[in-house]
A and B are shown apart, each in its own frame.
Chain A
Amino acid sequence: MSDDQMVTIEVDGRELQAKAGTLLIEATDAAGINIPRFCYHKKLSVAANCRMCLVEIAKVPKPMPACATPVTAGMQVFTRSPLALAAQKGTMEFLLINHPLDCPICDQGGECELQDIALGYGNDASRFVEGKRVVQDHNIGPLIATDLTRCIHCTRCVRFGAEIAGIRELGALGRGEHMEIGTFIEKSVDSELSGNIIDICPVGSLTSKPFRYSARAWELVQHKGIAPHDSVGSNLNLHVRRNQVMRIHPRDNEALNECWISDRDRFSYEGLYSDDRLIRPLLKKNDNWLEVDWQDALEAAAQGLKKARGTSGNRLAALLSPSATLEELYLAQKLMRGLGSENIDFRLRQGDFRGQEPEYPWLGQAIAELENLNAALLIGSNIRKEQPILGHRLRKAALEGAQICFLNSLELDLNYGAMQLVNSPAGMISDLAAVAKALGASGGMIESAEVGDRHRQIAEHLSSAARAAVLLGNLAAAHPDYSLIQALASAIAEKSGAVIGYLPEAANSVGARLSGALPGTGGNNAAEMLANPHKGYLLLGVEPGLDVWNPGKAMETLAQAEFVVALSAFRSHSLEQVADAILPIASFAETSGTYVNAQGDWQSFTGAITPAGEARPAWKVLRVLGNLLNVAGFDQMSTEEVLAEVRQLAGDRKPSSNAVDRPINEPTLKASGLLRVGDVPIYAVDPLVRRAASLQKTRDAITAAAGLNPNEAERVGLSNGAKVLVKQENGSAELRILIDPAVPDGCVRIPAGLAGTEKLGGQIGNVTLEKA
């Protein structure tokens, strides 16, 4: 019987068509016939342990679990026959005897699968008169609260860890009714996808710690949203009570996030309510910050920009966050261009601007296609932590046998088998050239590359795969020879037949290009804007000490400017050092707008809540600034109107990562001295997540340190915990040494985006260490 053959079955007298071999519960779910279940989950392996979905099948004496029974032609199923109901009700009685029935104080109450199904299959009184089981709770970290007494042992969380998160952090320990969910050795659950176990837990055994005891499910109003931290564009449901985001859940979208979201997308809403939230406009008067009303603030901002501009728009420059919406980015660049400035950029963390970039670089394929790859080379990417949902897709490919290769300046903690080529940033270039050479590419530095076995293996994996991709990640973009990496990657893709794709850093990195947030002819890019001091700067959603490639330089240059106006949702130490006016803007969930994700989907959303305090949506602030500065075309009444203009500007551009002519230059980065590897940790990527209190308590929320591998540390005579003075360009930072075997020789890992690194230079570049 072929797998695709359709068979006819009969369920409760109704004829259904289903693919032969489909599980019965899938067929009934598709037909809208409800069979109660707890352990079954469409994305997890079948456990068949809860015994709730027992149904009667003609000619089978015992009731059978619908979740584990494949359909066969002519099968006659009764989901509510006396035998089936007796089995289902029997299971329900057993589930409830040891369940605490503490629904009134349980966070799951009102949205609990056990509660719902008990209504249909439970009794109104219990026959169980013995003492109930009580289970000790565990502290499994800042995100997930345990109430293990409520556990019904469905093992969804255990299977999620093994099958989706890719780390077995939870297990079912003990036998019989002593079975408990736990970590065995007391530890936190650290997966970047861990919060999903809150959703899949059918009872209140695993609940959200930040949300705990703060609202009841029925008080919440659900709004649709789009995740703001990476380029997946994960679909969200924002749960709001009285104008406050109380929690965030995933919204199913098979093409993007399936039914999962990353912890970053789930818990970052806490940042909205941080003490740092800027709720009134601020003006700097005599080095003091004064809270002023909007009228004064806007007039001062307009005047300041006008004065700085003087007679030439070229004296102004704008650094725009790639996490801003399309509409905000569009209006910001329109304002700058209206003032005669072409100095506009969103590529704040890019390390090299030579060569021509594709107009509309993207993932190179649909997100869902990642799981069908047979081979991939990821250059400078920690995809698991940078775009966790894309990492999950890639892991699925790896589990199906895809050969995944990483070329990076840090050894990654992966949850699947992959080849990792770990080399210093300078060495990465030689490695790439060697892979290109192994594939038969030529020209420039490829000629002199030394090809080793591993390069040949990567070349072989890519060229022999039916579907292969070369993907460029965040650390590649931050590389001082990014243009060369792009050129070499293009050569590798071309020679191997692989697709080239970008793993865009932020929620709107792709959209920013479509909104015109790039320098025009003669305009300065992000690096040039900081290298060449300008009189006036517009910052949108940027903390200059944390959100740019070279924060030391940014702080220095901005401090010299005549006038810096910043639109920011938060008070910020580094911003307050350099700005002259800070206008409070709406953050995530507080404004309508649009993001374009890695696969080129334009996803618009509406605001779920009104902005905090006096904050206003940035698009409105920019609109008023346009009016005050007498720039034409600032009469939009809604983001939809702005979006229409963006669509016109973007035209019918189709996403394409194909290489524009790029020469293979000699690398600028030399392997001499100690090179800094400045990756951006998962919970440091933007102002919102940096202020999300619970995420900042996780193990992934690291503090700034200077990471050396044991050999390197010995070579420079520094031990773990030693205080050092890190010097880079004109700045320095006092940090502690962290012995980290993941760092290659000749390198020191000093992450960017973390407090304490504001005065340092570029994310990748030469540093010196001195004992402090």
Chain B
Amino acid sequence: MANEVCFRNMDQDRPWLLEHYRSRGGYEVLTKILREKIQPESIVNEVKASGLRGRGGAGFPTGLKWSFISRNAPGQKYVVCNSDEGEPGTFKDRDVLRYNPHQLIEGMVIAGYAIGATCGYNYIRGEFWEPYERFEAALEEARAAGFLGKDLLGSGFDFELYSHLGAGAYICGEETALLESIEGKKGQPRYKPPFPAHFGLYGRPTIINNTESLASIPVILEKGGEWFKQLGVENSGGSKLFSISGNIKNPGVFEIPLGTPFAELLEMAGGMKDGSKLKAVIPGGSSAPILPGDVMMQLTMDYDAIAKAGSMLGSGAVIVLDDSNCMVKVLERMSYFYHEESCGQCTPCREGTGWLYRVVKRIETGRGRPQDLALLDDMTTKIAGRTICALGDAAAMPVQGMLRHFRDEFEYHIKHKRCMVG
């Protein structure tokens, strides 16, 4: 049941090469679409039918996003791929770029065809040098084979695709900050509305999707939306890449159907490291609220199940923590990240992320005060939902999650000026 979509070619030697991709049916969907001049609407409908939800973390239905663009509006439109994979714990898109770049290219060309765009950009995280080189090489191959450029396969449809290497800012993973960055400006999220579908790259209608989402498109169209949907469960169609890391034996990326029990995923990753006991799991990247291990062991890996438990499936970055971890220390590391990565535009996030970090750090270093936990509780409510983008929420949620499930460790730290564990 695993490795049927983005990782369908993972068993091959050097799967990133065009010939290997084609040997598994690569570019056949695109060829069919171009040869048979398939109606763009039917492509959008198929994606809608697949139940594919944005794999970057927000989980917005991809087909619905595509349908916001009016295909016949005059002027340039763009397809943008968000490969600025920066959420701590997430490293799945990197493997798509490294091992299956052609499937992403094919997905992007199809997306362009579906919305009437002739130009695309793949925004790749600044630190991803090897994936960037792989992707660039794949672009060359695709161009040479006539899958990119003018008049693709004699269809009259043009599509050019460029990669754009970021410069190391987490905030550029926010879609409008990413667009600003491509435009050569400082990466800061735009106020929305207008959404990118109406005012996107260079002010033109733009769809912007995650790497995994776009790379799923060729397989969805080849095997049908319904097939994809059936891989998963209600409201969580398809399979998904999970990057699992932490105190486990075999960290890595696994493609599994949505709805797979967490316990199975943990087992695939070799289980806990020897002698360690599962304490907690961050199920969807560092901004997802943490959940206690025993809660996680009862859950399946799909959008609804994780949401019901008070967290998010997010980008599918599963961080597994054993009982050697001090939760105050863990939160300090995470809060430091958001403090460093806030773009600084909105007051609550610019000032609040630094304040959160400093209070947590104070507690961690034994200088906490009894009233600090109430202060943290209160501060998070004044950051979340008060900013232009979701970074404020992302900084607040881990604090809220920690204080919900592990408040006793924080209280212990304040009282005894040292960790409860270790």
Contacts and interface: CB of A to CB of B under 8 A. Distances in A.
Given A94-B351, A97-B351, A128-B355, A175 B344 contact: yes
Given A175-B169, A176-B342, A49 B347 contact: yes
B358 interface: yes
B340 interface: yes
A177 interface: yes
Given A49-B388, A94-B382, A175 B191 contact: no
A179 B344 contact: yes
Contact of B341 (A54, A68, A128, A175): A175
Interface in B331-359: 339-355, 358-359
B370 interface: no
Contact of A49 (B346, B358, B375): B346
Q: Is the interface of A mostly helix, strand, loop or mixed?
A: loop
Contacts of A128: 355
A98 B348 contact: no
Contacts of B191: 46-48, 65, 68
Interface stretch (A85-93, A519-527, A647-655, A740-748): A85-93
B171 interface: yes
A68 B387 CA distance: 12
Interface string A44-59: 0011111110100000
A187 interface: no
A52 B358 contact: no
A172 B186 contact: yes
Contact of A90 (B342, B345, B348, B358): B348
Contact of B344 (A47, A65, A94, A178): A178
Interface string A501-534: 0000000000000000000000000000000000
Contacts, number: 94
Nearest to B171: A175
A449 to B, nearest CB: 42
A633 interface: no
Nearest to A179: B344
B278 to A, nearest CB: 34
Given A51-B386, A174-B344, A95 B351 contact: yes
* Most chain B beta-carbon neighbours within 10 Å: one of A46, A61, A153: A153
Nearest to B387: A51
B346 A51 contact: yes
B385 interface: yes
Interface in A83-118: 86-87, 90-91, 93-95, 97-98
Nearest to A131: B358
A87 B362 CA distance: 26
A127 B388 CA distance: 25
Contacts of B387: 51
Interface string B69-108: 0000000000000000000000000000000000000000
Nearest to B342: A176
Contact of B386 (A63, A130, A153, A175): A63
Contacts of B354: 98, 176-177
A48 B386 CA distance: 11
Contacts of A153: 344-345, 347, 350
B194 to A, nearest CB: 11
Contact of A176 (B341, B348, B385): B341
Is the interface on chain A under 10, 10 to 19, 20 to 34, or 35 or more residues?
A: 35 or more
B68 to A, nearest CB: 19
Nearest to B391: A176
Contact of A94 (B169, B345, B347, B385): B347
B353 A50 contact: no
A152 interface: yes
Contact of B342 (A46, A87, A175): A175
A450 B387 CA distance: 62
B388 to A, nearest CB: 6
Contacts of B343: 175-176, 179
A178 B354 CA distance: 10
A62 B352 contact: no
Contact of A48 (B349, B362, B388): B388
A127 B377 CA distance: 13
B344 A62 contact: no
B344 A87 contact: no
A97 B350 contact: no
A49 B345 contact: yes
B386 A176 contact: no
Contacts of B385: 61-63
Contacts of A52: 347
B344 A176 contact: yes
B344 A177 contact: yes
Nearest to A50: B347
Contacts of A46: 191
A130 B358 contact: yes
Contacts of B388: 48-49
B379 to A, nearest CB: 9
Given A90-B382, A91-B386, A97-B355, A176 B339 contact: yes
A94 B345 CA distance: 13
Contacts of A127: 375
B339 A177 contact: yes
8 contacts: A49-B347, A94-B350, A95-B351, A98-B351, A128-B355, A176-B339, A176-B343, A179-B343
Top 5 A-B residue pairs of the complex, sorted by shortest distance between their CB atoms = A90-B382, A179-B344, A176-B342, A94-B351, A48-B191
Given A98-B351, A174-B344, 19 more contacts: A47-B345, A50-B346, A51-B387, A87-B386, A90-B381, A90-B382, A94-B347, A94-B352, A94-B355, A94-B382, A95-B347, A130-B359, A172-B186, A175-B340, A175-B343, A175-B344, A176-B350, A177-B350, A179-B344
